[in-house]
Amino acid sequence: MNFKKIAIVSVAVNLVGFLFFAGMKIIHRPPPPMKDSRTEYCDKWNTARTGVFEHLSIDSLDIIFVGNSITEGFPLQETFGTLHVKNRGISGNQSRHILGRIQEITVGHPKKIFFDIGINDLIDGVPLDSILMHYDSIIDLVHDMSSTTEIYIQSVFPVGPEYKDIAASIPAFNTMLRIMCKSRKITYVDLYYKLLKGDYLDAAYTFDGLHLTGPGYQIWKSAIMPFL
């Protein structure tokens, strides 16, 4: 090999080495801070779904279920066999989301509204008092806009051991809900103990410690049938 070829090979080797170590520095550089993508996505999904619901009517014969992904997954019309039961559950919804969209539901003066609110707030660490304050404002808006609408507050469901960090706060919040309902003469529907086994959500009623399976929804159905 002549000197010219040796020089070319040497330069190439040095260049590859430089690029390798430069690349290693880039690879090991800490990534930039990321936005809270879950919160951002839930806000966008709430906006998208609310936009869909704006084109669907609600009238005085309707029974509306309002809540989060657990409500969204409830096949209400097929379960109860009536078109007057309508689903307004939106995955990821917290109490703040429902407070922001309840007027669009109440403006139709529905016969009844069943609320399922709280679990996503608890997962995100929202203080119990703040959730209850939002709930109180939601009830005020319903009463102000549609005084004939009957309100039903459903307890927050138990969770599986996957969510053990918030499991103990759920009974405490449900107690607060029960007291609020009693003071405001609103029907409180206790689903917590119907789904509980030991300290957690019965494993037969969930697949991820949060959302319900078919048997779980059947328990829910049986519990609320007397109120429909």
pLDDT in tens, 105-151: 999 999 999 999 999 999 999 999 999 999 999 999 999 999 999 99
- Which one is predicted more confidently, 82 or 209? 209
The model's confidence at residue 188, banded by pLDDT at 50, 70 and 90, is very high
How far apart are the C-alpha atoms of 94 and 65, rounded to whole Å? 15
pLDDT in tens, 15-42: 444 333 334 333 334 444 445 688 898 9
pLDDT in tens, 150-185: 999 999 999 999 999 999 999 999 999 999 999 999
Q: What is the CATH number of domain 37-227?
A: 3.40.50.1110
Region 58-69: mean pLDDT is 97
Q: Which residues of 58-78 are buried (b: 16+ CB within 10 A; e: fewer)?
A: beeebbbbbbbbbbbbbebee
Average pLDDT, the chain: 87
pLDDT over threshold 80, residue 8: no
pLDDT value at residue 36: 61
pLDDT value at residue 71: 98
| Predicted model pTM | 0.82
| Element containing residue 153 per DSSP (H, E) | strand 150-154
In terms of C-beta density within 10 A (0-12 exposed, 13-18 middle, 19 or more buried), how is residue 166 classed? middle
How far apart are the C-alpha atoms of 217 and 157, rounded to whole Å? 12
How far apart are the C-alpha atoms of 206 and 73, rounded to whole Å? 12
Long-range CB pairs of 171-176 (<8 Å, 24+ gap) are 172/128, 173/118, 173/122, 173/128, 173/131, 173/132, 176/128, 176/132
Tokens 């309707």 belong to which residue? 62
Q: Which amino acid is at 138?
A: I
CB atoms within 10 A of CB 228: 14
pLDDT value at residue 5: 45
pLDDT value at residue 179: 98
CB atoms within 10 A of CB 97: 23
